[in-house]
Structure 1
Amino acid sequence: MEYKIRKASLEDLNETAELFNQYRIFYRQESDIEKGKSFIKERLLNGESDIFLVLVNNKAVGFVQLYKLFHYTKLQKQWLLSDLFVLPEYRGNGLSLALIERSKRWCEETGACGLMLETEKTNDIGNKLYPRCGFEYDGAHNYYHWWK
C-alpha cells in the first residue's frame, strides 16, 4: 500500500480531530469531535505536541501524537508516544509500523534520547506491535495516576 507521512498543522485540524475522535472511541470514550478538535488545536497552537499523519490517496487514515518529556537518568529530552491510531479498514498494511519509524526519526531530528509509551494490558494489537518495533517492556516500574 502506498502512503505518505507528514507533520500535521492547523490546516489538518478537521482530519486530525476526526481520527483523534475515533481513537478515543477505541478507548471507550464518548464521541466528542468538537472537544477533541479544541484539544488538538490547543496542543498545536502551543507547540505542546507533534502529530504525524499517514495518508493514503491524500486521505488521512492514521496518526501518532508525541509529547516532549525529559529523562532523569539520561539528562536528555525524550518523546512520549501518547497516541497511535490507524482506521480499522487500513490496519494490517504496515501503517502503524511506518508511524513508529517516523517517530523514531523525529527523535533523531530533535536530539531526543528515545521514545516511551504505555498502553492498556488489554490492547492485544499494541502489545504485540511495540516489541516488534524494538520497544522493551518495562516490568520494573509501577505507573500510577492521580486525577482530580
Structure 2
Amino acid sequence: MDHTKRMMIEIADYQDPCHRAGIIKLMTAYALDPMGGGEALSDDVLNNLCDALAGEAGAVTLLAFDKAKPVALLTALRGFSTFKCQPLLNIHDVMVLPEYRGQGLSVQMIAKLEDYARSRNYCKLTLEVLANNAVAQRVYRHCGFAPYELDPLQGAATFWQKSLA
C-alpha cells in the first residue's frame, strides 16, 4: 500500500515526548534488523539516547510520520572537513519500517537533510553503508553519493573501527 501521500517529515525535537518515543521505537526496530546488527539495544542506551543526542552539537534526527505513527528515521552527526575548513554532516542511521520500504522515504529524508545542511553552510554529507546492502547503495547512488576517493589511483576509502568499550 502506498502511504507516501500522508507522510510528513519533521526535524525531531529531542525533548518532545512523541518524538522521543518515535526515535526509541525506530531505533529498537533498526537494531533488531539484520542490517542493524540483529541485537537489541540495552535499556541504558534506549533510556539515554535522546538526551545524549540533544547534547551533541549539530546532531539532527529526521522522523517520517504516517499520520501520527513514526515510520522512518534518519540521524546525522556533525563532523568537520579539514580540507574544506567547514562542517559536514555524517548520516549515521537510516531506518524505514519494513511495511513502508520502497516508497521513497529514504530519498525524501536525505533531500530534507541536504536542504538543512546547505542552509547551514555544511560542505558535504557522508555516510557508511554495508558492502552487501545493495538496496541502500542504490538509494544512496540515486541521491548522488559515491564511494569516497581523493585520487582514483589510490582507491576508495573504507570505513574502519576500533571498539573502545
The CA deviation at 1:28 is 2.1
Task: Specify the code of the residue in structure 2 equivalent to 1:147.
Answer: S
Moved over 6 A (4+): none
Instruction: Kindly indicate whether residue 92 of structure 2 is the aligned counterpart of residue 92 of structure 1.
Output: no
The CA deviation at 1:57 is 1.4
Distance in 1, Cα, partners of 2:53 & 2:60 = 8
Q: Deviations over 1:39-90 (max 9, x none)?
A: 2321124445210101111211001001000011111000001101110100
Distance in 2, Cα, partners of 1:134 & 1:103 = 13
Instruction: Kindly indicate whether residue 77 of structure 2 is the aligned counterpart of residue 30 of structure 1.
Output: no
1:144 — aligned with what?
A: 160
Instruction: Kindly indicate whether residue 102 of structure 2 is the aligned counterpart of residue 102 of structure 1.
Output: no
The CA deviation at 1:37 is 3.8
- Structure 1 window deviating more from structure 2 (25-34 vs 73-82): it is 25-34
2:84 — aligned with what?
A: 74
Rg larger in structure = 2
Alignment of 1:53-64 (within 5 A): 53-64=63-74
Instruction: Kindly indicate whether residue 27 of structure 2 is the aligned counterpart of residue 20 of structure 1.
Output: yes
Task: Specify the code of the residue in structure 1 equivalent to 2:161.
Answer: H
Distance in 1, Cα, partners of 2:106 & 2:42 = 23
Identity %: 23
Instruction: Kindly indicate whether residue 11 of structure 2 is the aligned counterpart of residue 7 of structure 1.
Output: yes
User: How many residue pairs get matched?
Assistant: 148
Which structure 1 segments of 5+ residues have no match?
A: none
CA RMSD of aligned residues (A): 1.6
Task: Specify the code of the residue in structure 2 equivalent to 1:7.
Answer: I
Task: Specify the code of the residue in structure 1 equivalent to 2:158.
Answer: N
Which structure 2 segments of 5+ residues have no match?
A: 149-154
CA contact (8 A) 2:57 2:78 kept: no
